[in-house]
Chain A
Amino acid sequence: MNIASLLSRKGVKVVTIGPHDTIREALRRLAEHNIGALVVVDGQGGLAGIVSERDIVRALVRSEAILGEAIGAIMTRDVIVGTSQDDLVAVGTTMTEHRIRHLPIVEGGRLLGIISLGDVVKAQRDQYQGEVDTLQFQILNEEDVKAPRAS
């Protein structure tokens, strides 16, 4: 399975923010959409960075006065991105090992979507569940198949 399969059922909505928007605004959007990270895009719609709830928590511990500051000051600029053709298993491993919770998916410089570690875990779980279900059904029905019934 690849990332395209996972993105297919995630819709096309990516919640973004500008580098000059405030941290307060970022918190508002995180709360409104009930998500853990925002993709930061520049004026041309290009990927400028990513900001997670943890980035904000860390900044707030340093100073409670930062809420009015720009996202650009705390965002991660060197964003690790994936493509829709990446393997689900490889992505799951890399995200776990590098503690990446949110992965923007980019193709030809265009932001296609964002996936969370939760999305990857759910996709893997559904895949395994489907395989187990199929195998169990086959094993349980093996006898029926050996003796096909007429009616």
Chain B
Amino acid sequence: MVEVSIPGTPERRPGTPERPLRVAIVGAGPTGFYAADHLLRQEGAVVEVDLFDRLPTPFGLVRLGVSPDHQKIKSVTAAFDKVAANPRFRFFGHVELGKDVELEDLRHHYHQILYCTGAQTDRRMGIPGEDLRGSHPATEFVAWYNGHPDFRDCQFDLTQERVAVVGVGNVAVDVARILCRTPEELATTDIADYALEALRASRVKEVYLLGRRGPAQAAFTNPEIKELGELADADITARPEEVELDELTRASLERTPDRATLKKVEILRGYAEPKPRTKSKLLTVRFLVSPTELVGDETGGVVAMRLVRNRLEATPMGTLQPKPTGETEDLPVGLVFRSVGYRGVPLRGVPFHENFGVILNERGRVIDPDTKQPVAGEYAAGWIKRGPSGVIGTNKPDAAETVACMMEDRAAGRVLRPEAPEPEAVDALLRQRQPLCFSYGDWRRLDQLEIAAGQRTGRPRVKFTSVEDMTAALGHRAE
């Protein structure tokens, strides 16, 4: 089905000014931009990049995942603007693979296809009561308050006074922090307007952040946990017995002293010291507990979470894993957010590794599960390649590794042979399939309108949260 050009015939290899290497990147998050940057910087090959995203707006989780009260992290988009300024770069927003265009279309127009679709879905806790009313994936809440068009209509019962956030990774910390912020604190961010209104009316008083392992194993970083202790109207507390290090952790820290981990434990110990409460909300960080069941009332709403206490056990490789002790407790909560891991969503026709939740690949080359050989012309980078780990910048070396494979394959003539590689052919296809397609110029105009609206109200920007609003703001092409 996939044609591969004959190695050893240099004139057939794309990548010259007359015949550029045409690459389609699926997913305009940080990885998509890092990969585009690497591709466009190649000295030995002329590459043209078309970057597709299912949403009208670029930047993926930088716009829709990174917390609105962490604007500094979002400044990375300045680097992406520079990539987009390259004349050999085009952006096609609001074009979804598998809906507006198919894999076959991409094979018809490009020499190489790169998937940067991220980890779009959450892992489940796998416990009874998980689907009771009031139990949500943390990512839905995050997407909602960040103004993701697909999640703007979600409902969260913020009349509940007690909330549990399961997990101690950065998403869990973000959710807990947003729940504890005052409306005044949130009003200076680019949080979605409807979320600001909903959180203004919030009656949340107590938030629990639950880690299944100990303080030394928690995934949150020191700046994140320190920030939780500096909230305007929320006190933070921890239990002394839960922040005390167990034998195994102490031994492991003695063998390999890690300053950051020692500092983390020190901060948490500080939170566990008794102090008078002065603020109206309380954030409690718990360790060594795992939810075993969500308990509902007669109407099917969550009223409590059953927790089992854990102790740590070492695997042969020295990883400290939680083992339930059998000792349980009930935590009365009316709202639950789970953030216990993320996984990629399979793309139709692309080999997927169910166990790891990623596209099956070798250094970014998509691998056919039957032959265990690379699939010609298809690649992966970012979270869909290695799973959700690291910070935004981790995707830079990751994308570079994949691009190196792409360039190696180009040099060897292992590319697709598209029948219509001309950029105009893609324009023609999209006019037909998705007339409401957004260019980077469209995004820049939306960006300026959002920032201008923000300046009027003292916020970094006021986000458009629906495709209709974006189309109307651009004042054209409403077909």
Give chain A's interface residues, CB within 8 Å of chain B.
1-2, 4-13, 80-87, 89-91, 93-94, 97, 103, 112, 125-127, 129-135, 137-138, 141-142, 144-145, 148-151
For B78, list chain A residues within 8 Å (CB).
Answer: 141, 144
Task: Give complex CA distance A131, B394 in Å.
Answer: 6
For A137, list chain B residues within 8 Å (CB).
Answer: 75-76, 79, 393
For B389, list chain A residues within 8 Å (CB).
Answer: 1-2, 5, 127
The answer on a CB contact under 8 Å between B397 and A129 is: yes
Report the 6 A-B pairs with minimum CB-CB distance, sorted nearest first.
Answer: A130-B394, A11-B362, A134-B393, A133-B393, A130-B393, A141-B75
Of the candidates A91, A138, A148, which one forms a contact with B460 in the assembled complex, judged by CB atoms under 8 Å apart?
A: A148
Which of B145-153, B235-243, B283-291, B313-321 lies at the interface with chain A?
Answer: B313-321
For A142, list chain B residues within 8 Å (CB).
Answer: 72, 75
Of the candidates B76, B361, B369, which one forms a contact with A8 in the assembled complex, judged by CB atoms under 8 Å apart?
A: B361
The answer on a CB contact under 8 Å between B394 and A84 is: no
Task: Give complex CA distance A25, B458 in Å.
Answer: 72
Which B residues from 320 to 346 make CB contacts under 8 A with A? 320-321
Q: A5-B387, A141-B72 are in contact. List 20 more A-B contacts (CB 8 A).
A: A5-B389, A10-B363, A11-B363, A12-B360, A83-B317, A85-B319, A86-B317, A90-B315, A90-B319, A91-B317, A94-B317, A97-B255, A130-B395, A131-B390, A134-B393, A137-B393, A138-B72, A138-B76, A141-B75, A148-B460
For A94, list chain B residues within 8 Å (CB).
Answer: 317-318
On whether A4 and B72 interact (CB within 8 A), knowing A84-B356, A131-B393, A150-B452, the answer reads no
- A125 nearest CB across to chain B (Å): 8
Of the candidates B75, B256, B318, which one forms a contact with A138 in the assembled complex, judged by CB atoms under 8 Å apart?
A: B75
**In the assembled complex, B367 has its CB within 8 A of some CB on chain A:** yes
The answer on a CB contact under 8 Å between A133 and B396 is: yes
- B84 nearest CB across to chain A (Å): 15
Interface string of B429-462 (1 = CB under 8 A from A): 0000000000000000000100110110000100
The answer on a CB contact under 8 Å between B362 and A10 is: yes
How many residue pairs between the two chains, A and B, have CB atoms under 8 Å in the bound complex?
Answer: 146
Give chain B's interface residues, CB within 8 Å of chain A.
71-73, 75-76, 78-79, 252, 255-256, 258, 315-321, 353, 355-356, 358, 360-364, 367, 369, 372, 385-387, 389-398, 401, 448, 451-452, 454-455, 460
Task: Give complex CA distance A143, B448 in Å.
Answer: 19
Q: Nearest CB to that of B360 among chain A residues?
A: A12
Of the candidates A6, A82, A87, which one forms a contact with B316 in the assembled complex, judged by CB atoms under 8 Å apart?
A: A82
The answer on a CB contact under 8 Å between B361 and A9 is: yes
Q: Is the interface of A mostly helix, strand, loop or mixed?
A: helix
Task: Give complex CA distance A138, B316 in Å.
Answer: 39
The answer on a CB contact under 8 Å between B316 and A9 is: no
On whether A131 and B361 interact (CB within 8 A), knowing A12-B369, A94-B318, A126-B398, the answer reads no
**14 interchain pairs, CB-CB under 8 A:** A2-B389, A4-B387, A5-B389, A8-B361, A9-B401, A11-B360, A80-B316, A80-B317, A81-B316, A86-B319, A89-B256, A90-B315, A126-B390, A129-B393
For A7, list chain B residues within 8 Å (CB).
Answer: 356
- B80 nearest CB across to chain A (Å): 11
The answer on a CB contact under 8 Å between A8 and B72 is: no
Task: Give complex CA distance A49, B339 in Å.
Answer: 38
For B386, list chain A residues within 8 Å (CB).
Answer: 5-6, 8-9
- A140 nearest CB across to chain B (Å): 9
On whether A11 and B361 interact (CB within 8 A), knowing A90-B252, A103-B317, A142-B72, the answer reads yes
Q: Nearest CB to that of B394 among chain A residues?
A: A130
The answer on a CB contact under 8 Å between A90 and B318 is: yes
Task: Give complex CA distance A103, B317 in Å.
Answer: 10
Task: Give complex CA distance A97, B252 in Å.
Answer: 12
For A149, list chain B residues within 8 Å (CB).
Answer: 451
For B360, list chain A residues within 8 Å (CB).
Answer: 11-12
For A127, list chain B residues within 8 Å (CB).
Answer: 389-390, 394
- Residue of B387, B392, B452, B460 with most chain A CB atoms under a 10 A cut-off: B387
